[in-house]
Amino acid sequence: ILEKVAEIMSSQVDELTKLCASEGGKPWIDSQVEVHRAINGVKLAIEALGALEGKEVAMGHTASSANRMAYTFKEPIGVVAAISAFNHPFNLAVHQVIPAIAVGCPVVIKPATQTPMSAIRLVEILEEAGLPKGWAQAVVCDRTGGELLATSPKVSFLTFIGSGAVGWYLNSKVANGTRVALEHGGVAPVIVEPDADIDTMIPDLGKGGFYHAGQVCVSVQRVYVHESIVDEVSSKLSDYASKLVVGNQLDPKTEVGPLINNNEVNRVEEW
């Protein structure tokens, strides 16, 4: 099934790129990279299946364990609940859903309400590839519905991508025995020393800050530059930023697209 999923996705790169760019605002060139990363994610899950193994437990150290064999093996943990984020709607859904399917767990994903279509499309592709209907489901709901999903006693594993405040809150509310994996944002500082190759660094620094209009968990947010080169770095970084192409995310020439919603625009303005 997963091999068929990768095949379907590979045949629909442009369609999936348009979907990601349209609903999330990420420029076409970066959305296309996201789709290729998602395809690679499926292939990695397939490769990882061959590495699943148990462990033999040493026996024979006591009279009661003589002539006995013991070993462990892994089995599906149960229903997986996945709560995803808006900034990489297709790739994040792949990262949360595909590993669960690979090891035999049914999964219910709640995509971000701003970008639900990518997760819905992933579920459709899984079913096209032969996954029984209902084994993977996408549920579009508000935070209240998301909390009900995450805290259900039927859920054995919660994978959450989003803010630290919400993630840790849900972690404190899950049912007894539910395992949790949280992926949060960061503050992403960069330190620039006097011996840095400034001309080589500036494009990477600029891309790190302006990729997807800064809406990435590892976006460059703070830059600490040695005082001896601060003027040069500031000037060159400003020059780099001034040349970025801002516009329609569906235009392959666009480097910086829109923010996800008006509230985010207002928040940036307040800075």
- Give the residue numbers marked as catalytic: 183, 217
The dihedrals phi and psi of 25, each to the nearest 5 degrees, come to: 85, 0
Q: How many CA atoms lie within 13 A of 244 on its CB side?
A: 24
DSSP state letters, 180-194: EEEE-----EEEE-T
Measure the CA angle with vertex 83, ends 81 and 85; round to 5°. Answer: 160
Contacts of 52 (CB under 8 A, 6+ apart): 74, 103
C-beta atoms surrounding 92 within 10 Å: 26
Instruction: Give dist(CA 75, CA 52) in Å, integer.
Output: 10
Yes or no: say if 24 and 87 are a contact pair by the CB < 8 Å rule: yes
DSSP state letters, 150-162: HT-TTEEEEEEES
Question: Burial, 126: exposed, middle or buried (Cβ in 10 Å; 0-12, 13-18, 19+)?
Answer: buried
The dihedrals phi and psi of 118, each to the nearest 5 degrees, come to: -65, -45
